Amino acid sequence: DTAVSQTPKYLVTQMGNDKSIKCEQNLGHDTMYWYKQDSKKFLKIMFSYNNKELIINETVPNRFSPKSPDKAHLNLHINSLELGDSAVYFCASSPGGRSGSEQFFGPGTRLTVL
């Protein structure tokens, strides 16, 4: 009965590799997000999808590519990993809407690039 789930929880990889993180929500929400939390704990939005459509695309290197096969899933693919990509990546979902609403976060994926 997990609301927002992510896999994997930990990811350790070498520089230059390509990796993916998967996210699923069973809350029936229309909007999903990817956040990056760096070592200083700062939470920065990367992408947002509403009903499979990209609506927020922050200044993120184009090595990062989100994909939403349906409104319950939002995956993040990262090409040519760099040391600076090491962080915790959180997926989140919300009912959406223009006025803002609670966002429910997944457990996070700790990515370490060696």
Q: How far apart are CA 18 and CA 36, in angstroms?
A: 17
User: Which one, 18 or 58, has the nearer CB to other proteins?
Assistant: 58
User: Which one, 7 or 104, has the nearer CB to other proteins?
Assistant: 104
Q: How far apart are CA 100 and CA 10, in angstroms?
A: 30
Q: Are 23 and 111 in contact (CB under 8 A)?
A: no
Which of 32, 23, 48 shows the shortest CA–CA distance to 107?
Answer: 23
User: Which one, 61 or 97, has the nearer CB to other proteins?
Assistant: 97
In the complex, minimum distance from the CB of residue 10 to other proteins, in angstroms, rounded to a whole number: 11
Strand-by-strand arrangement of the 4-7 sheet: 4-7, 19-25, 73-78, 64-70
User: Which one, 15 or 43, has the nearer CB to other proteins?
Assistant: 43
Q: Which positions touch other proteins (CB under 8 A)?
A: 31, 40-45, 48, 55-56, 90, 94, 96-108
In the complex, minimum distance from the CB of residue 82 to other proteins, in angstroms, rounded to a whole number: 24
In the complex, minimum distance from the CB of residue 59 to other proteins, in angstroms, rounded to a whole number: 11
The amino acid at 50: N
In the complex, minimum distance from the CB of residue 70 to other proteins, in angstroms, rounded to a whole number: 20
